[in-house]
């Protein structure tokens, strides 16, 4: 059975909103060691935004971005578990 892989996003700059090209992902807060527990977030149905309950970053879906894209661009922490060798 194949595992689903989710991109991970970070908010090192403390911006209130990050636009992303996916609706299911993991938020880690700031980069380690200031990170919070990795949390899986998913925008359901017609939803186009979701708030991380740990760091209060608002993630907004932007269909014009690549599936692993973000604005600001350095908000992409890792492409998912495959980047960790897991």
Sketch the domain layout of the chain as residue ranges.
8-84
8-84: CATH topology: HSP40/DNAj peptide-binding domain (2.60.260)
73 contacts: CB under 8 Å, gap ≥ 6: none
Q: Among candidates 58, 10, 59, which has minimal Cα distance to 31?
A: 10
SS3 content of the chain, % helix, strand, coil (to 5): 10, 35, 55
Token readout for 83 is 């980047």
Token readout for 1 is 């059975």
pLDDT tens column, 41-55? 999 889 999 999 999
The per-residue pLDDT for 5 is 81
pLDDT band at 4 (very low <50, low <70, confident <90, very high): confident
Q: Among candidates 81, 56, 62, which has minimal Cα distance to 20?
A: 62
Residue 39 β-bridge partners: 27
Mean pLDDT of 18-44: 95
Q: What is the pTM of this model?
A: 0.86
């Amino acid at each position: 059975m194949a595992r689903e892989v989710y991109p991970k996003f970070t908010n090192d700059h403390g911006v209130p909103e990050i636009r992303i090209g996916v609706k299911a992902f993991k938020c880690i807060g700031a980069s380690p060691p200031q990170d919070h527990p990795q949390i899986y977030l998913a925008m359901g149905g017609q939803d186009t935004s979701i708030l991380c309950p740990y760091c209060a970053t608002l993630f907004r879906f932007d269909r014009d971005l690549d599936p692993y894209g973000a604005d600001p661009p350095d908000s992409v922490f890792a492409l998912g578990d495959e980047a960790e060798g897991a």
